[in-house]
């Protein structure tokens, strides 16, 4: 019998979180934005994400909104007292396609995907 390690995950019942999978962006580009918001307050995070000029900011902004809504609706937490406690970006599967090129040849195109997990923490509790 093979023993499997238990995954260290997020306890969704004690802290608000949001997980989005297969986002069509590379993990490297998402980490560039994620590193700026880790450990910041909710209001400060929204301001940073709205002003940054990267395409990934919109996807991450939607995730932060969703995590705050989860905390507000499911756990009755005040959005003003939330901070970003844990943010994780992992690589997903790479979508591979062929683009037609000259003389009937196919040119491979690789579209990277990523998975983003955002966990919030309440300062009042």
Element (H, E) at 106: strand 106-111
Taking domain 17-122, whether its CATH number is 3.90.470.10 is answered by: yes
Q: Which residues does residue 90 pair with via DSSP β-bridges, in sequence order?
A: 115
Asked whether the beta carbons of 18 and 109 are under 8 A apart, the reply is no
Residue 46 Cα distances to 5, 61, 106, angstroms: 36, 7, 43
Element (H, E) at 98: strand 95-100
Question: Which tens digit of pLDDT belongs to each residue from 30-46?
Answer: 999 999 999 999 999 99
pTM: 0.81
Question: Which tens digit of pLDDT belongs to each residue from 55-108?
Answer: 999 999 999 999 999 999 988 888 889 999 999 999 999 999 999 999 999 999
């Amino acid at each position: 019998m093979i023993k499997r390690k238990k995954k260290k995950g997020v306890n969704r019942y004690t802290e608000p979180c949001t997980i989005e999978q297969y986002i069509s962006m590379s993990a490297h580009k998402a980490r560039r934005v994620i590193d700026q918001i880790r450990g910041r307050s909710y209001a400060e995070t929204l301001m940073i994400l709205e002003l940054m000029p990267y395409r990934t900011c919109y996807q991450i902004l939607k995730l932060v909104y969703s995590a705050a809504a989860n905390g507000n609706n499911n756990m009755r937490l005040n959005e003003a007292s939330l901070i970003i406690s844990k943010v994780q970006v992992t690589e997903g599967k790479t979508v591979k396609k062929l683009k037609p090129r000259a003389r009937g040849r196919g040119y491979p195109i690789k579209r990277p995907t990523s998975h983003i997990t955002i966990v919030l923490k309440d300062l009042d509790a």
